[in-house]
Amino acid sequence: MSDILFTNARVIDPSQNMDCVCNVFCKNGKIAQIGKNTVFENARQIDASGLILAPGLVDIHTHLRDPGFTEKEDIYTGCAAAAAGGVTTLCAMPNTNPTCDTTETVQYILEKAKSAKAHVLPVAAITMGLHGETLSDMDALAAAGACAFSDDGVPVATANLMRRAMEKAAALDLPILAHTEDKSLSGKGIMNQCVLAEQLSAEGIPNSAEDVGTVREIALLMNAPVNTRLHICHVSTKGSVALIADAKKRGLRISAETCPHYFMFTEERLAAKDADYRMNPPLRSESDRRAIFQALLDGTLDAVATDHAPHTVNEKSDFYKAPNGVVGMETSFAASYTALVKSGAMTVSALLRRMSYVPAQILGIDAGTLRVGARADLILIDENALWTVDVNALHGKSKNCVFKNCTLQSKVKMTVLNGEIVYDELTKGNE
């Protein structure tokens, strides 16, 4: 493990309210020193002039498809994509095969991730097989290394099961990551319920499917143990935003995320019947998009995640039959920067806070910070770089990228994990 001295960087660390030009010294995989006059002759020196040096991003919501669906993605390729996008820590959702509902699967993920290019935190299933019938052994899964619990991909089938899961998760001091959806309302819908859906003869998903699901989880939280930690996944509707804002005003321990596509795109993207723009929840109306955008600015929505969901080209070839999901880890920061920072709506420090420190705090993990003694997980960003997303240049196995062919501003030029360079577009090309 080599020591690295980054010089002349604009160091932004929201966890310490830091934004200044200085040097950062990494030793033995840790942040050892930050200062303007830091010099170490034996360290590898990297001139970061004109670049932002920030904590590695924490993506609280991804699907690595491993085990069981490795034709779409695996832990190694998923983490390579993460590194290329500046993500150094990610949560892997449990809808794999087998489902992450046993200690053996948790251990498999952790073991395989030891040699990957990002820290992988397994999210364990709330119910066995995600079937919504029997609670998993949450005690054993937590002891094995699960970071949170979720049935993401589907909602927990009944309110009573979710109530019991909240009680158990609270006793373990781990968060519930809730997929809020009422399946009786969403049915077999494949896009937002709107005029365009009617024109395409596509079954629609109404806003109420998400809003009713959000209401249920908040109602359960109101009656749950006071230390229950509820996190609402992939918020897409103005109704859910209002419900979450009200819950926060009531002092409930709730957090929420959205994804870049929900504050950048609308249902109109589906007019060409391209399944790469299909995900669940779906792209919504312009008024929903504006509400999501504003909720990120005012703090109602705490974090930006990706819901990175790889599928093969063949699976995505039929608009009406394709599975839901889009890949996003390589584009998440640049897309968010383009929409939020370039537009002047948000500072780059505020964006980094929502993509690093805050997700780490939601999970209760030691990440998303550059404080001395922390793991040397960091990124270098060229905020002036303009690049066009070429799906054939992505590092993951799948190409179902919602930002394909988009020109974005800002680019991660280097990613460092535990003091080791795992992505390098700055000094010698990609590693």
DSSP character string of 161-195: HHHHHHHHHHHHT--EEE----HHHHTT--EESSH
Q: Determine contact, residues 93/66, Cβ cutoff 8 Å.
A: no
In a domain, 71, yes or no: yes
Looking at the structure, tell me whether residues 17 and 94 fall in a common domain: no
3-state secondary structure at position 75: helix
Looking at the structure, tell me whether residues 253 and 154 fall in a common domain: yes
Looking at the structure, tell me whether residues 48 and 191 fall in a common domain: no
Residue type, 323: P
**Inter-CA distances, 187 with 182, 209, 296, 395, Å:** 8, 9, 29, 34
Instruction: Please tell me the total number of residues recorded for the chain in this structure.
Output: 431
**Which CATH number does the domain housing residue 20 bear?**
2.30.40.10
In a domain, 370, yes or no: no
Determine the pLDDT at residue 196: 98
Q: Which residues of 201-234 are buried (b: 16+ CB within 10 A; e: fewer)?
A: ebebbbbebbbbbbbbbbebbeebeeebbbbbbb
Determine the pLDDT at residue 319: 98
Looking at the structure, tell me whether residues 343 and 266 fall in a common domain: yes
| Alpha carbon 54 to its chain's center | 17
Determine the pLDDT at residue 202: 98
Domain carrying residue 135: 56-363
Looking at the structure, tell me whether residues 23 and 123 fall in a common domain: no
Determine the pLDDT at residue 28: 94
Q: Determine contact, residues 209/181, Cβ cutoff 8 Å.
A: yes
Looking at the structure, tell me whether residues 11 and 96 fall in a common domain: no
In a domain, 36, yes or no: yes
Looking at the structure, tell me whether residues 344 and 263 fall in a common domain: yes
In a domain, 429, yes or no: no
Q: Tokens for 351, please give them.
A: 């964006």
Cβ count near 17 (within 10 Å): 9
Determine the pLDDT at residue 39: 67
The structural domain count of the chain equals: 2
In a domain, 381, yes or no: yes
List, run by run, the mean pLDDT of 10-residue segments along the chain (431 residues): 91 98 96 85 91 98 98 98 98 98 98 98 98 98 98 97 98 98 98 98 98 98 97 98 98 98 98 98 98 98 98 98 98 98 98 98 98 98 98 97 98 98 84 44
Residue type, 65: R
DSSP annotation of 229? -
Q: Nearest-CA neighbor of 305 among 292, 294, 316, 318?
A: 292
Q: Does the predicted TM-score (pTM) go above 0.95? A: yes
Q: How far apart are CA 169 and CA 175, in angstroms?
A: 6
**Which CATH number does the domain housing residue 81 bear?**
3.20.20.140
In a domain, 194, yes or no: yes
Looking at the structure, tell me whether residues 239 and 303 fall in a common domain: yes
Q: Nearest-CA neighbor of 295 among 255, 342, 344, 252?
A: 255
Q: Determine contact, residues 61/257, Cβ cutoff 8 Å.
A: yes
Looking at the structure, tell me whether residues 24 and 89 fall in a common domain: no
Q: Determine contact, residues 20/2, Cβ cutoff 8 Å.
A: no
Looking at the structure, tell me whether residues 44 and 96 fall in a common domain: no
| Alpha carbon 418 to its chain's center | 20
Q: Nearest-CA neighbor of 232 among 251, 205, 208, 259?
A: 259
Determine the pLDDT at residue 431: 44
Strands (E) across 126-259 are located at 148-150, 176-178, 191-192, 204-205, 230-232, 254-258
In a domain, 369, yes or no: no
Phi and psi angles of residue 7, each rounded to the nearest 5 degrees, phi first: -115, 150
Q: How far apart are CA 226 and CA 425, in angstroms?
A: 46
Determine the pLDDT at residue 430: 44
Q: Tokens for 348, please give them.
A: 């780059």
Looking at the structure, tell me whether residues 107 and 250 fall in a common domain: yes
Looking at the structure, tell me whether residues 254 and 195 fall in a common domain: yes
In a domain, 109, yes or no: yes
Active site residues: 307
Determine the pLDDT at residue 2: 77
Determine the pLDDT at residue 338: 98
Residue type, 57: L
